[in-house]
């Protein structure tokens, strides 16, 4: 690569740090022309930025995957409606509370209720579950990740005590979105949900898959611009990973390398954002989550679901930790984080990006 280009791209990273954004063309170029050396430079700035705001603390979120029934048919996802091989399950209110109880004892102060879009859990049922969790664990934050709902439903959950909501936009580009989803789902509707959630007062998390089929550097540039505009409290990204029982069975998975680069860029764009090193990242590489932290991430989200159902929440192939107890993951992560000089803390871990 000619030297002037390299110099230019280092300067682009400096510009990103200075202005906290780039133009679409600049984002595209930086992503498309990235090199290992450039990435190292980016990661060192990203680590410095996260240290300024969050020190070496790592926030943990206890993930409770409470239903794998889903009315949607996203082409990439293993629990899509048309996957007749998926073994479906639902957790009862008692099961969910028992997961929280175990998690509380292990030092979790945030619980994330994640599930497919499952009509079994009516608004009334969700409100009851939310109220119970908040009543039993008043010092904990409660995050929902249950997909697209009406503004009214979002408001009811919020009034019942839900604090945060995770809804990845998946890809900002409408045409790309339509290649990953059935026509019943649109990028516009997804974004509308995110704006509604913000307006209601949730701490909002969005995000996207890295290396999803048909994704280009320009699409990723558009993701950065959308996230910059939304200014969420959290951004969850992970590599797309093939699931063998989906229409994308023959596609290539995303890479560790590009995912880490995008984490670094996100940390520089939104210095105070909460950025998880995701399970998908830990799945494509044995030390993926550690590398994610070293690229600017500051959150990990181990699983609190009962081991009996773990393997059935299969969004993609070879997901890690499906055989482990909650306590095992908690200890494992503690060691992993200590191994790279970071420390898991027992706190709610609210976002400083307000």
Choice between 140 and 329, CB closer to ligand FES: 329
Q: Number of C-alpha atoms within 13 angstroms, CB side, residue 145?
A: 25
Q: Which partner in ligand FES, ligand 5AD, none is near 170 (CB below 5 to 8 A by kind)? A: ligand 5AD
Give which of 205, 207, 268 is closest to 240, Cα–Cα: 207
Which residue has the CB atom at the shortest distance from ligand 5AD? 316
Antiparallel, parallel or unpaired: β 164-166 and 343-345: unpaired
Q: Which stretch binds ligand FES (CB under 6 A): 146-154, 172-180, 203-211, 325-333?
A: 325-333
Antiparallel, parallel or unpaired: β 62-67 and 57-60: unpaired
Choice between 73 and 317, CB closer to ligand FES: 317
Q: How far is CA 334 from CA 138, 287, 328, 339, in A?
A: 25, 14, 10, 8
Find out whether 150 and 180 touch, Cβ atoms under 8 Å.
no
Q: Which stretch binds ligand FES (CB under 6 A): 17-25, 68-76, 263-271, 320-328?
A: 320-328
- Look up residue 268 and give its two tokens: 């520089």
Q: Count residues near ligand 5AD (CB under 6 A).
A: 12
Q: Which stretch binds ligand 5AD (CB under 6 A): 121-129, 187-195, 238-246, 304-312?
A: 238-246
Choice between 76 and 261, CB closer to ligand 5AD: 76
Choice between 99 and 209, CB closer to ligand 5AD: 209
CB atoms within 10 A of CB 275: 29
Give which of 277, 324, 348, 338 is closest to 109, Cα–Cα: 348
* H or E stretch covering 132: helix 123-136
Please report whether residue 261 would count as binding ligand 5AD according to CB under 6 A. no
Q: Which stretch binds ligand 5AD (CB under 6 A): 83-91, 100-108, 223-231, 239-247?
A: 239-247
How far apart are CB 139 and ligand 5AD at their closest, in Å?
26
Site string for ligand 5AD, 171-210 (x = CB under 6 A): --------------------------------------x-
Choice between 127 and 332, CB closer to ligand FES: 332
How far apart are CB 169 and ligand 5AD at their closest, in Å?
9
Please report whether residue 76 would count as binding ligand 5AD according to CB under 6 A. yes
Please report whether residue 340 would count as binding ligand FES according to CB under 6 A. no
Q: How far is CA 310 from CA 54, 87, 170, 214, 282, in A?
A: 31, 11, 23, 30, 16
Find out whether 125 and 94 touch, Cβ atoms under 8 Å.
no
């Amino acid at each position: 690569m000619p030297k002037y280009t390299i110099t230019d791209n280092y300067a682009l990273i400096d510009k990103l740090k200075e202005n906290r954004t780039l133009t679409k063309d600049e984002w595209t170029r930086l992503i498309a022309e990235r090199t290992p050396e450039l990435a190292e430079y980016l990661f060192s700035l990203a680590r410095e930025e996260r240290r300024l705001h969050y020190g070496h603390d790592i926030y943990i979120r206890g993930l409770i995957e409470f239903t794998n029934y889903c009315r949607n048919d996203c082409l990439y996802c293993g629990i899509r409606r048309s996957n007749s091989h998926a073994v479906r399950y639902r957790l009862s209110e008692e099961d969910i509370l028992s997961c929280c109880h175990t998690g509380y004892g292990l030092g979790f102060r945030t619980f994330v209720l994640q599930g497919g879009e499952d009509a079994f859990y009516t608004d009334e049922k969700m409100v009851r579950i939310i109220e119970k969790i908040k009543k039993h664990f008043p010092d904990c934050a409660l995050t929902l990740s249950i997909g697209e709902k009406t503004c009214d439903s979002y408001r009811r959950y919020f009034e019942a005590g839900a604090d945060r909501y995770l809804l990845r936009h998946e890809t900002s580009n409408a045409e790309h979105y339509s290649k990953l989803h059935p026509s019943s789902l649109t990028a516009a509707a997804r974004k509308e949900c995110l704006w509604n959630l913000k307006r209601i007062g949730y701490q909002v998390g969005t995000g996207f898959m890295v290396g999803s089929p048909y994704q280009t550097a320009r699409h990723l540039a558009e993701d950065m611009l959308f996230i910059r505009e939304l200014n969420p409290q959290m951004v969850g990204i992970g590599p797309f990973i093939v699931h063998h029982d989906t229409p994308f069975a023959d596609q290539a998975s995303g890479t560790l390398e590009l995912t880490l680069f995008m984490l670094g860029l996100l940390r520089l764009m939104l210095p105070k954002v909460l950025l998880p090193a995701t399970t998908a990242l830990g799945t494509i590489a044995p030390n993926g989550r550690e590398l994610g932290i070293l690229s600017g991430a500051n959150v990990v989200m181990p699983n609190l679901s009962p081991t009996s159902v773990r393997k059935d929440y299969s969004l993609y192939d070879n997901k890690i930790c499906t055989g482990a107890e909650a306590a095992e993951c908690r200890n494992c992560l503690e060691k992993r984080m200590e191994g790279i000089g970071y420390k898991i803390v027992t706190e709610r871990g609210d976002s400083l990006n307000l």
